[in-house]
Structure 1
């Protein structure tokens, strides 16, 4: 790139990066507010909430990056045109393509980044998030222990805890198990969830155990430390249910029979595969619309509010149409080519508007040519 191209690229890239970062920040804040349930209802740490929020960010980027390109591109190009820097470029003999090339080059870079995130980072993050959510949902500690409440679990198990400290230490624990006519209770001053040889256990102590057998015999045991095996109460038939957004591209294109049974039809998986590839293309559409809004019409000192609004509306309609085609492709695979045609077609139409519009220098020359020329002195009137 020459000096002018580098300057234009830098002037457009900084607002685009700022807009993408701001939109990502808003999205991450929204995600973190949604994840507060993990702390409030599931008793998880703030680290788990931050982890789930970070894992949701790659999927958010597929939506945010094209919008950031549109917003940042409109801001940068409007300023450059208002301050007549683009006019100066045209006056210096710079071609229209060389003026718009830095913006389109930036859009291509954003498209490649978004494509990499969509194909590789997003499925990995979604899988990790799904596994973490499954672990939280089936977490024995959060299911059995709720401060100040009697919690009943399967197998006749009832657990009461007076206090749970931030470190995970349980104080004043009461465990009650009824198996037919046999009743067993444990009480302990402190306890903590742990694993012994890979099996979940509740390490209690000091405390006592009372067992009333079905023969009417009472057994009593006091202990300084006792490991209560939780394996009989951990049985669950739940399995991790992956969705289309969790699968790799190869799994979407060539799904196994088990994957089809768990996720949906082959058409739905193919629609998701095409959407992974076409979603980044909307960054090209966004930049092309931004260029058309600023360079696709006459220079206006009063601003480009109307054209900017039209470009934003066109992008909104295009993106909504893209989502509609993705949904329609799930039941009609022949509509899949439209997922590529919509973003690329709108981008081509927008760039055509840019090249059909003559340059500002040509407009000035045309206006000067239309002025009446002064007549030579002494010419007949």
Structure 2
């Protein structure tokens, strides 16, 4: 797994070093920069709550400000507006990291809640600083989703407020973050190099808020389904920069083959992690070795697993203790996905003559003569273990199917 991170910006977190509340709301973030409509100093509305305020702004003035870090919607309210002297009418919208804006929320005079009065230091429209008398303090909590229509992955980095008419002129004392999830620039992670079983594949997920994607095959979705062995990579372009990650995926093909080793002994030609032999589609208790000595006429095969717990089913041998091997098919056949949730496909290198499906107790559920399809689709409605028998010119191949 190789990671490349090209950062084009840094996000400075501004969590409160000490616990602070306003009107009972915990303050966890705030504006770090703003533009006063009349060019005055911005300290009145940046930083955590204090006793400074902008008052008597001109109707139609617009404030733009930037939070100390980026935020994503979570449960409850995320934004807290603070005003002084007069409850005011605003048009508020949030600026997103993509450069776009949320929908506009109209704040009315009646929306505000009065809290403890304070002695305000305020900056008037002529930029004079004046010490004023104790007066009202108001707050208004708002939710990113409910009031601004934002989704769970949209990232907020700033705000815009248009001041509208009020009794004695609009004013503003602060804009704070009281909830949400702080969004930090983290690298895209496809996970460690891995091995998966044939027929299962692996979903590679590179989902990142407000991002665009480029995979090794030129596709541009947030995720990619890897169903072949190879190297996969993704390049994710975000507001924080370009992130690239690579992962090697190995698809384990477990294809056991059994032969007649002589002396009434069947042998799985390759070593595997575990073995389970079957006789006439029934488990043979204790038959868990690479070799198996036959005692009765009938059909035999073995299901094996490798060190990754990937399973494979061997060819089927029909044996007669007098005449030896009656049928032996070397046809390549696979069932995928396996395990599955009730829907799977049989794929074979040559056309089978007939296909049958049995449950774990040997009952035949389906028997089908094949016409001209090398891939057959099966719908198995109930969870359990099934066995699919495909009869070819040179014998029968059996595959175990697990439905979850």
Q: Do both share a fold (TM > 0.5)?
A: no
TM-score band by shorter chain is under 0.3
More helix by share: 1
More strand by share: 2
Bigger Cα Rg? 2
Larger RCO (CA under 8 A, 6+ residues apart): 1
TM-score, length of structure 2 as denominator length? 0.18
